[in-house]
Structure 1
Amino acid sequence: MAARNVLLFMCFMLCSIYVNCDILCEQGFCRGHINDDNQCSTPAPECAINNATHTGLWLPSPTICNCCSFCLPFYQLGQPCSLGGSGNGITIGRCGDGLTCDNSTRKCVRMKTKCHDAQDDYDARHARGETGSFENRPSCDEKGKFASFHCVPSQTCFCQSEDGERLFGEVLYTGRFMNMPCRCSRMAHKIQTLIAKDLPYPVFGMRCTADGNYNPVQCIENMCYCVNRITGERIPGHSVDLDTTHISELPCYDEKLDLFPKTEDSEPPYEYTTPCFNSVQERRDLIDKSIEEGYNVEYFSTFGSISCLPDGTFGRMTINSNGSKICVNERGEKLGNYEAPANTPQFNDMDCKCALSTTVMTSSNEPPRCCKNGNFRPIQCHRGTCRCVDSDGRQIGRESTDVTRLPCYTQDWRNC
């Protein structure tokens, strides 16, 4: 019940965020209000210029019924700024994206963040000629946090958190103009890190697709509705009750995105779920029954073996009948021969990231090389040139035609 209430609250908040809250004024009020004696002031020029040195944001004006245009200027690095508060209102704009107002100098300075530190490290190494051809300079957002995704040239692009942690959501790299909003993937990550860990039952938020976007169909218990795939904003007027109506009647339903369509459902009530979600529900029912009948079931260990990803599928690793870990796809089918015996370092370190990337790159002639446990091999080679990579497959440092000159080289580098 607690988990359901949390989910309902989150969905309510998401819907509330996207509700328009325009001030309601009598039609034609502004035409009569603005006249020769009461004119709008000229907005700051930054919004109209909108170039590398002069930018701003159009906002509703702080006037009656927002009748006038208003531009909030963005100040550049080193320009004067104010922090607000009594006696400090000396400017009418704010520092631009990635900048903040310094408390002592009252000038715009670059934010001190993990992503900006990563950019500084890249820039310093690049100036010394120590960056590789497959290294990308980290991208930061307007708050100085890591951008929503990261690309490994010639391989894939994947979603990442504000702290740069790799998340669910991965697509084939197709060029420098890639874009992955990853809002659903990021929302799912926040739910797991901020809410789910303190609750007895697993909590799932909005259902995502393989690219980290929102699935166009979202459900709260048996009520399903359509949403915008990028923002998650509910689309008014489209909903179905599974107690009486099949999910396919929803106009946004796409069978290609439904990994487990219920073709055998011929009579209501209908379902729109996944085997992983069903497994969680079965265990919740077991706990509820144990409470009713007076025997004890350990809350926090009961779900330890079940891990559902944001698309509703099981986690990409599982343990087979031999006690070994194996990599699996979204349907729980084994990927390749990737396996790690129990009680080994390979078992403990297994993440299957390389194995999963190779499935995204099925059409590529040069997929990444994986270790026996499905992790990225620390040395990757491309057309006679080799490079060191991290656990996400991202290049570290310069490449070399002589593999022995790489800092990650070991004599057994081909086998891991």
Structure 2
Amino acid sequence: MNSLLIFLLFSLATIQNSSESCDDILVTDLSQHDCIAKQTNTDSYYYSLDETQSCLPSCKKYNPDGHFRDSCSKQRCPAGYTCSKRCNRLIEYAEISCETRADCTKAGALRAQCVDMCVLDADTCMAYHANTSDFRDNKFGALKFKPACDNDGQWDAKQCKGGVSGKCYCYDPKGEKLFGQALYPNAADMTCSCSRRRAELLDSGRPFVSFHCDSKGNFEKMQCDSGLCWCADPKTGELVSAVVPERVMPKLPCYDTTTLGSQYLRQCDSHQYAITKITNTLKTHGVVYANFGMRLCDGDGAYGAYNVSNGIAYCTWRDGTTINTWQSDSSTDISTLNCNCARDYKMYAHQLHCTGSGNYESVQNFILNKQNYFYCVDDDGFAISDYFTTRVDNCTSYY
């Protein structure tokens, strides 16, 4: 019996050691979160599976000078880095992309070879934790907020700012903010699973998504799509009831008369759905372009942050009404417009400064003991710098 057990254990170890990948092999509960927590003012760590040691997980320290000399032809790059072809592993050539050695020669790297090497990807979640000179000078030096990352180096669904008195928000795996937020003390059950699912469907090309999320980005208890309705688990979205036609949705145990009326869609997404149907009908009749204005809806079916009418983007509240006089030219400001400051003012009546368009001013100030202090904030109004007695001219060195 003991001999058989030893043989089985040896066989399992052999299989794991011969594997070229550690995907889906769980050895311990060590995670990226544990490695990030080891971070100090000088050192930063990342989660790694050692493919030569039976896929044992560990926290490895980032090289303070970067990992551009690391070859990725036979092993994975550290989290936050991607494998890319560059001209040699010399720092003076590390930024030169190539496909062949001839590309290096043309770029002036006369004796350089075109090799696979690890290159920092500034768009990944773990790049914010990579202790390289670039990030020490800006992102690594800003200790106010660093995103939480999963074991693959992507953004966690829930990101929290401002400590226990702050807020938590929903994000997609690439760091794009989604619908859903909650004060930190109320965010323990926040999964953002609904917001992420909606984003996935929209990114796949689906013109309209009817799933309703609650204010935290979780699933509402009742969901409908394509004329069918069912009850869902708020944290996961999994089916927990029979699926019935929408006309008999009041029979579902999760139907709530205080939040649902005679129809599932709410005012904004009902309007959006109608526009989608009309647009598709016009396309089938040869109409290439039809302008119905721009109306954003939140993930719960309420009206979104702004409404575009006659070339002007107006900050709006959840009932569709405009918020004070905050507005901007949609042809120039729409890509950066979020109306976060305007909406937070509507909800909390805060004292922070908003731009004319309704975003937060990047530089805020307050007076203490007759001294004026200045500091930088992010898009959500949270401080991302220390306080200064002279006005800050540039907040781009913080994040």
Aligned pair in 2 of structure 1 residues 185, 312: CA closer, same or farther (>3 Å)? same
* CA–CA separation in structure 2 for the residues paired with 1:336 and 1:43: 69
Q: Secondary structure in 1 aligned to 2:153? A: coil
Alignment partner of 2:286 out of 290, 296, 310:
296
Where do 5+ consecutive residues of structure 2 fail to align? Answer: 11-21, 36-45, 62-69, 82-120
Query: Do the aligned residues in 1 keep the contact of 2:210 with 2:224 (CA within 8 Å)?
Result: no
Contact 2:193–2:217 at 8 Å: present in 1 too?
yes
Q: Give me the whole-angstrom Cα distance separating, in 1, the residues matched to 2:226 and 2:139.
A: 55
Write the mapping of 1:68-217 to structure 2, written as runs, cut at 5 A. Answer: 72=27, 81-82=50-51, 91-95=53-57, 109-112=78-81, 114-120=124-130, 124=136, 131=142, 135-153=144-162, 154-174=165-185, 180-196=190-206, 202-204=207-209, 206-217=211-222
TM-score where L is the length of structure 1 = 0.60
Q: Percent identity?
A: 21
Structure with the bigger RCO (C-alpha within 8 Å, sep 6+) is 1
Asked if 2 retains the 8 angstrom alpha-carbon contact of 1:111 and 1:144, the reply is yes
CA distance in 2, matches of 1:310, 1:276: 10
- TM-score, structure 2 length as denominator? 0.63
Select which of 344, 354, 361 maps to 1:357.
344
Cα distance per residue 1:256-288 (max 9 Å; x no partner): 5x3xx43xx4xxxxx211233333443455456
Structure 1 unmatched ranges of 5 or more: 1-34, 45-55, 60-70, 83-89, 197-201, 266-270, 410-416
1:352 positional shift: 0.6
Amino acid corresponding to residue 272 of structure 1 in structure 2: Y
- Structure 1 residue 383, shift from structure 2 partner: 6.6
Whether the 8 Å CA contact 1:159–1:168 is kept in 2: the answer is: yes
> Would you say the 8 A contact 1:181–1:212 is kept in 2?
yes
Please state how far the C-alpha of 1:168 moved relative to its aligned partner: 1.5
Structure 1 residue 297: Cα displacement: 2.4
Deviation by residue 1:31-55 (Cα, 9 ceiling, x = unmatched): xxxx8997699989xxxxxxxxxxx
CA–CA distance in structure 2, aligned partners of residues 389 and 278 of structure 1: 36
Which letter does structure 2 place at the counterpart of 1:358? Y
Asked if the contact 1:187/1:205 (under 8 Å) is kept, the reply is no
Q: Rate the CA distance shift 1:38–1:143 in 2: closer, same or farther, 3 A.
A: same
Query: Residue 97 and residue 327 in structure 1: after superposition, are their counterparts in 2 closer, same or farther (change >3 A)?
Result: farther
CA distance in 2, matches of 1:173, 1:97: 28
2:271 is matched with which residue? 279
For 1:81, give the aligned amino acid: D
Which of 327, 336, 358 in structure 2 is aligned with 1:339? 327
Local SS of the residue matching 1:327: strand
Distance 1:158 1:137 in 2: 13
Report matched runs for 1:391-402 at 5 Å.
391-400=379-388, 402=389
Q: Give 1:16's aligned residue.
A: none
Residues 170 and 360 in structure 1, CA contact (< 8 A), matched pair in contact too? no
Q: Find the aligned partners of 1:40 and 1:231 in 2 and give their Cα distance.
A: 41
Counterpart of 2:304 in structure 1 is: 315
For 1:174 and 1:159, locate their aligned partners in 2 and report how far apart those are by CA, in whole Å: 15
Aligned partners of 2:322, 2:79: CA distance in 1, in Å?
A: 47
> Which residue identity is paired with 2:27?
L
